[in-house]
Amino acid sequence: MYNHQLATFIIVADSGSFNKASEQLYVSPNAVMKQINLLENSLGFDLFVRTHRGVQLTPAGESMYRDAKYLIQYAKDSVARAEKMVAEPKHVLRIGTSLTTPVQFLVSLWPQIRQHNPDLKFELVSFENTPENAREIMNHFGRNIDLVAGIYSDNILSERRCSALKLYDTPLCAAVPLHHRLASNDEIAVEDLFGEKVMLIKRGYMSAFDEVRDDLEEHYPRIQIEDFSFFDVNVFNKCENDNAVLIGVNEWGNVHPLLKIIPISWNHTIPMGILHSNNPSKDVKEFLQIISQMYGIQS
């Protein structure tokens, strides 16, 4: 399912030397070095800096290390789910869940969904929401994950070659630290953000955030915009640590315990829906049809 050189690479990185890695793998140090050399040659860059005291990851190696651990676990989970399906064939929907892809509202609807189809079951599949993982999952809906609930835009659907069932438009809000001067507000006026550092995802990610950026730059130059590249836990931590304001959605209210989501008195919204394959399975189609009926969505 995956390149075994990646497993060797992870063991070498964890142990810090070829000799220690060879002991865990029950092969010679030369065999370990050969696997790493072959992997580096195929990639076209070095993963380790070799020293007489052992090995250290290069910056590229550190990036590869994080993704390799995810890929291997993802492959193992994929096999486990496939084996489970063979042993116990059911109508199972695999719903991806991560920091910014809320699944609570789907779970709360499940008793009603089961009334429509008692045979339909679901399985929550946790994933780390990095740009690479999100792109891989959405490009290949149906392989390991069938659907994800979250915000989206037309450019995301086009780039990741998937579709979405729109449920509603959710307002773009402000996430502020609990100790922030605005944290006691029930609502924030745009003018309240004057002099504040407002964290906004980079231009081109989703059109709704670009519209906010255009509005602030044109009409509210006293607001300082700070770009970031992706919604992950580091962004929420930075918001809290820097006592900044992060533009997000109310559905992320449970992402960080030290942040509070507050509405902003503007008309900026973003679609919230269920993302799925352009060619969904029969079970996914039925699930989407049930959800459409429950939300009164005309097909």
Q: What is the pLDDT of residue 299?
A: 60
Residue 82 has pLDDT above 90, yes or no: no
Q: pLDDT over 70 for what percent of the chain?
A: 95
Give burial (CB, 10 Å; 0-12/13-18/19+) of 148: buried
> The tokens of 74 are what?
């993802």
For 88-167+272-295, the fitting CATH number among 3.60.15.10, 3.40.50.300, 3.40.190.10, 3.40.50.12780 is: 3.40.190.10
User: Which residue has tokens 């231009």?
Assistant: 203
Which residues partner with 96 through β-bridges? 125, 148
Domain boundaries, the chain: 4-86, 88-167+272-295, 170-269
Helix axes 29-43, 18-25, angle to 10 degrees: 110
Across 205-213, average pLDDT: 96
Task: Tell me the three state secondary structure of residue 51.
Answer: strand
Kindly tell me if the per-residue pLDDT of 84 is higher than 80.
no
Question: Can you give the pLDDT at residue 88?
Answer: 53
CA-to-CA dists, residue 218 to 143, 165, 210, 269, angstroms: 44, 33, 12, 18
- Give the residue ranges of DSSP H helices in the chain: 4-15, 18-25, 29-43, 59-87, 104-116, 131-139, 154-159, 207-219, 233-241, 282-295
The tens digit of pLDDT for each residue in 28-57 reads: 888 889 989 998 898 899 999 998 888 999
Residue 291 pLDDT class (50, 70, 90 cuts): very high
Count other C-beta atoms under 10 Å from residue 217's C-beta: 11
Which CATH number does 170-269 carry? 3.40.190.290
pLDDT of residue 200: 98
- The length of the chain, given as a count of residues: 299
- Alpha carbon distance 146, 157 (integer Å): 15
Distance CA(169)–CA(270), nearest Å, equals 5
157-187 pLDDT tens trace: 999 999 999 999 999 999 999 999 999 999 9
Dihedral sign, CA of 270, 271, 275, 278?
Answer: negative
Nearest by Cα to 101 from 73, 72, 118, 124: 124
How many C-beta atoms lie closer than 10 Å to residue 94's C-beta?
Answer: 21
Looking at residue 50, its pLDDT comes to 92
Question: pLDDT tens across 18-29, in order?
Answer: 899 888 888 888
Q: What is the pLDDT of residue 24?
A: 87
Task: Select from 262, 275, 232 the least CA-distant residue to 99.
Answer: 232
Q: What is the pLDDT of residues 106-165, one digit of tens each?
A: 888 888 888 888 888 888 998 888 888 888 999 999 988 999 999 999 999 999 999 999
8 A C-beta contact, residue 290 and residue 277:
no
282-295 helix and 104-116 helix, angle to the nearest 10 degrees: 100
Per-residue pLDDT at 280: 94
**Whether the predicted model's global pTM rises above the 0.85 cut:** no
Confidence of residue 296 (pLDDT cuts 50, 70, 90): confident
CA neighbours within 13 Å on the CB side: how many for 37? Answer: 8
pLDDT in tens, 229-287: 999 889 999 999 999 999 999 999 989 999 999 999 999 999 999 999 999 999 999 99
Residue 285 identity (one-letter amino acid): K
Domains 4-86 and 88-167+272-295 agree in fold: no
Assign domain 4-86 one CATH number from 1.10.10.10, 3.40.50.1820, 1.10.1790.20, 3.40.630.30. Answer: 1.10.10.10
Is the pLDDT at 87 greater than 80? The verdict is no
